[in-house]
Amino acid sequence: MASTTGKTGETPKFGSRVRSLRRREGLSQAQLAERLDISPSYLNLIENDRRPMPATVLLRLVQLFGIDLSSFGKEEEERLGADLFEVFSDPLFESHDIPANEVRDLANGSPSTARAILHMFRAYKSSRENLDDLAQRLAAGDDQAGAVTSLPSEEVSDFVQDAGNYFPALEEAAEQLWRDAKLTRDELAAGLVRWLEGRLAVTVRTTRWEADRGVLRRFDPESRVLSLSELLPTRSRKFQLAHQVCLLEHGALLDRLVESSRLTTSESRALARVALANYFAAAVMMPYVPFLTAAKEERYDVDVIGRRFRTGFEQVCHRLTTLRRPGAEGVPFHMIRLDVAGNISKRFSGSGIRFARYSGACARWNIFSAFATPGMVRIQVSRMPSGDAFFCIARTVQKDSVGYHSLVPVHAIGLGCSIEHARDLVYSDGISLDDPKVATPVGVTCRTCDRSDCEQRALPSLRRPLQVDEHVRRLTVFAEGGRDG
């Protein structure tokens, strides 16, 4: 069992972790305090890091939530440290020699201060990006250029990460819907329509594309008419029906779940509500126990699972990251989605892998090569500079066309796990997982990676000073002592 004391003998503070677990379970402070046999006021002090958490309370919390004591608080500290190191690798701090051990000490010893630094840096980057955009728009004669805005998507990503992408209250609500509405897999869409019309007094209509161009789902609260576009394929139609059920039946639950310190604006909370309603819809389409059973039986073959549940590749991958029910867990996966320009639009790390937040991702990831072979699953064993290894698959996905003249975006989906779970996946068959030559050296970003022999390095490493020898040409100018001609 891991020690619960720090270097000075003082019990460490896990306020943000306790608050995240409580909100994930949909509990109020009074409800959790009662289960922990402490007063709500004392729990409030613990959550705000104004009081240390006694070992007895920590043990009760571990038993209540079914979590591993040895990893309690560790994941957030590691993620916080990695994010901080990426921040300090920005050229903004190039003239400051900030040792890595000081960054780790800051993340571990003063997490509130560390998070404040991340918040300020995120605001700085957002402001720079918006000011650049504003300058370009003004130069182009756009006198309607707006004010600087924040990035709600970043806050929602952190909110989902803190919850481990597992929301048991929504899982229970989805399972209750299956029982109450007597849903079946073969007639799921019809069952959801019957529930909307019979229980919620909602009329479901299919609209022609030209009548409401650009809109796939629209609900009118006054007339209680739900309009679904004729262009929605069956899987998307089911998803949108379930999404609307969540908004109508579980609005109070969504409001409670988005009461998070991670969500600082009304825009962030609104976006989080959409993400949570999507989570509910996925749980309805792919119920937890049958889905987990199928995943294990088919060894996480995404295509086979998708056929069984009539869902798409991305939907299955996303659902696989949510299988964290205590006592009934699946493989802990990470998932990332990006476009051909490298913009990350979805990310979650359940495997422990680190994603770039403030700069470009490593070009050695197989997710980038997936664009060269559309529709083909690319497999990669990745080894990070820390020595941690991951087994990853990647494939492109394309949205359904909305007409001949429409531009259909293409994304790449990356799904992976720690190498220790790789044999649970059908994709690892025939691969020598123990052979170190199989692993591709991969980093988080160029600035935080100290590999000097990478032919795809785009920036010098923060860990190694740039040394240029004009008499020697190497793979890239940023290779140690190299020059790119």
Residue 207 in any domain: the answer is yes
Task: Average the pLDDT over 303-318 and give the result.
Answer: 96
Same domain membership, residue 394 and residue 332:
yes
**What is the C-alpha end-to-end distance of the chain, expressed in Å?**
56
Same domain membership, residue 249 and residue 192:
yes
What was the pLDDT predicted at 72? 58
Say which range, 113-127, 333-347, 378-392, has the weakest mean pLDDT. Answer: 113-127
Residue 79 in any domain: the answer is no
What was the pLDDT predicted at 143? 44
- Tracing tokens 């140690």 back to the chain, one arrives at 480
Same domain membership, residue 353 and residue 430:
yes
Residue 65 in any domain: the answer is yes
pLDDT (tens digit, 9 = 90+) per residue, 5-46? 343 444 455 776 788 778 778 888 999 989 888 998 888 888
Residue 115 in any domain: the answer is no
User: Any idea what the CATH number is for the domain that residue 45 is in?
Assistant: 1.10.260.40
Same domain membership, residue 420 and residue 470:
no
CB atoms within 10 A of CB 298: 15
Q: pLDDT band at 67, cuts 50/70/90?
A: low
In the 3-class helix/strand/coil scheme, how is the chain assigned residue by residue? CCCCCCCCCCCCCCHHHHHHHHHHCCCCHHHHHHHHCCCHHHHHHHHCCCCCCCHHHHHHHHHHHCCCHHHCCHHHHHHHHHHHHHHHCCHHHCCCCCCHHHHHHHHHHCHHHHHHHHHHHHHHHHHHHHHHHHHHHHHCCCCCCCCCCCCHHHHHHHHHHHCCCCCHHHHHHHHHHHHHHCCCCCCHHHHHHHHHHHCCCCEEEEECHHHHCCCCEEEECCCCEEEEECCCCHHHHHHHHHHHHHHHHCHHHHHHHCCCCCCCCHHHHHHHHHHHHHHHHHHHHCCHHHHHHHHHHCCCCHHHHHHHHCCCHHHHHHHHCCCEECCEECCCEEEEEEECCCCEEEEEECCCCCCCCCCCCCCCCHHHHHHHCCCCCEEEEEECCCCCEEEEEEEEEECCCCCCCCCCCEEEEEEEEEHHHHHHCHHHCCCCCCCHHHCEECCCCCCCCCCCCCCCCCCCCCCCCCCCCCCCCCCCCCCCCCCCC
| 25 or 370, greater pLDDT | 370
What was the pLDDT predicted at 74? 57
Same domain membership, residue 458 and residue 431:
no
**C-alpha–C-alpha distance, residues 462 and 478, integer Å:** 11
Q: pLDDT band at 76, cuts 50/70/90?
A: low
- Tracing tokens 């994709």 back to the chain, one arrives at 427
- Strands 389-398, 333-339: pairing kind: unpaired
Same domain membership, residue 259 and residue 190:
yes
| 80 or 144, greater pLDDT | 80
pLDDT (tens digit, 9 = 90+) per residue, 218-227? 999 999 999 9
**C-alpha–C-alpha distance, residues 170 and 284, integer Å:** 10
Q: pLDDT band at 129, cuts 50/70/90?
A: low
Domain end residue (candidates: 56, 72, 88): 72
User: Percent of the chain scored above 70 by pLDDT?
Assistant: 81
What was the pLDDT predicted at 75? 61
Task: Average the pLDDT over 449-478 and give the result.
Answer: 66
What was the pLDDT predicted at 314? 96
Domain end residue (candidates: 52, 72, 92): 72
What was the pLDDT predicted at 209? 86
Same domain membership, residue 455 and residue 408:
no
pLDDT (tens digit, 9 = 90+) per residue, 381-421? 999 888 889 999 999 998 876 666 677 789 999 999 999 99
Same domain membership, residue 256 and residue 198:
yes
Same domain membership, residue 430 and residue 370:
yes
Average of per-residue pLDDT values in the chain: 83
- Tracing tokens 């089911």 back to the chain, one arrives at 238
User: Any idea what the CATH number is for the domain that residue 210 is in?
Assistant: 1.10.10.2910
What was the pLDDT predicted at 342? 85
pLDDT (tens digit, 9 = 90+) per residue, 133-191? 555 554 555 544 444 345 788 889 989 998 999 999 999 999 999 999 999 999 999 99
What was the pLDDT predicted at 134? 53
Same domain membership, residue 433 and residue 348:
yes
* Residue 454 structural domain: 450-485
| 479 or 260, greater pLDDT | 260
Residue 161 in any domain: the answer is no
pLDDT (tens digit, 9 = 90+) per residue, 48-59? 878 887 878 888
Above 60 in pLDDT, residue 483? no
Token couple for 408: 């259909």
Residue 126 in any domain: the answer is no
User: Any idea what the CATH number is for the domain that residue 423 is in?
Assistant: 3.30.450
What was the pLDDT predicted at 477? 59
List CB contacts of 292: < 8 A, sequence separation 6 or more: 323, 325, 328, 330
Residue 315 in any domain: the answer is no
What was the pLDDT predicted at 307? 96
What was the pLDDT predicted at 6? 40
Mean pLDDT: which of 61-70, 98-107, 285-294, 404-413 is highest?
A: 285-294
- Tracing tokens 């409580």 back to the chain, one arrives at 22
pLDDT (tens digit, 9 = 90+) per residue, 464-475? 656 666 767 665
| 1 or 23, greater pLDDT | 23
| 397 or 365, greater pLDDT | 397
Please name the amino acid found at residue 118: L
Residue 320 in any domain: the answer is no
Q: pLDDT band at 109, cuts 50/70/90?
A: low
Same domain membership, residue 333 and residue 272:
no
* Threshold 0.85, pTM exceeds: no
pLDDT (tens digit, 9 = 90+) per residue, 269-287? 999 999 999 999 999 999 9
Number of domains observed in the structure of the chain: 4
Same domain membership, residue 239 and residue 186:
yes
Above 50 in pLDDT, residue 427? yes
**C-alpha–C-alpha distance, residues 447 and 462, integer Å:** 5
